[in-house]
Copies of this chain bind each other. A is one copy, B any other.
Amino acid sequence: MELLKQRIRRDGRALNEHVLMVDSFLNHQVDVGLMRAVGEEFARQFAGCGITRVMTIESSGIAPATMTALAMGLPLVVMKKSISSILSEGILQTEVHSFTKNSSYQLTLKQKFVAEGDRVLVIDDFLANGEAAFGAARLVEQAGAQVAGIGIVIEKAFQPGHQRLIEAGYRVVSLARVSRMAENLIEFVDE
């Protein structure tokens, strides 16, 4: 998505080979006009896939996922990051490890907000190792629903998440695929 890549080139900042700061338009300050374009692009890419529900993980996925659900006319479900595991009827949980933060959380979903037979589009702001996306997929599948697609705003294509998800059979659409970073350098995968 050219508009997004231009914005990353202009306002993103690579601190080093691994850390990309995009907090001026994606995950602290949010350009909602850009998020609307992102949502419309996901709606276009996943049109005709029979999606019935959009899901995301709190909290940086919420703005792009809200716009995607709006563009597709579908309900949104926000999976929660819980510190402790909850033993309660109707609650699905799975442990997700964040390499970025070097900590784990219990990804949490009330089962009643996903129906058997649902075809779910999972939206997230970043894809690196794929731990969060796999966690979301586990919860969707535990509920008897199906992951019909995974939509990522920015992918660190030099990390293994995309390849791992593809090998597991998921369809992944990343709107910007960063191939290489260094201090003040951001390169994209040629597409």
Contact = CB atoms under 8 A, between A and B. Distances in A.
Interface of A: 23-24, 27-33, 35-36, 58-59, 62-63, 66-67, 69-70, 73-78, 80, 110, 113
27 contacts: A23-B110, A23-B113, A28-B78, A28-B80, A28-B110, A28-B113, A29-B75, A29-B76, A29-B78, A29-B113, A30-B77, A31-B75, A32-B66, A32-B69, A32-B74, A32-B75, A32-B76, A33-B70, A33-B73, A58-B58, A59-B78, A62-B62, A62-B63, A62-B66, A63-B66, A63-B76, A63-B78
Contacts of A69: 30, 32
A73 B30 CA distance: 12
A67 B39 CA distance: 13
A70 B31 contact: no
A15 to B, nearest CB: 13
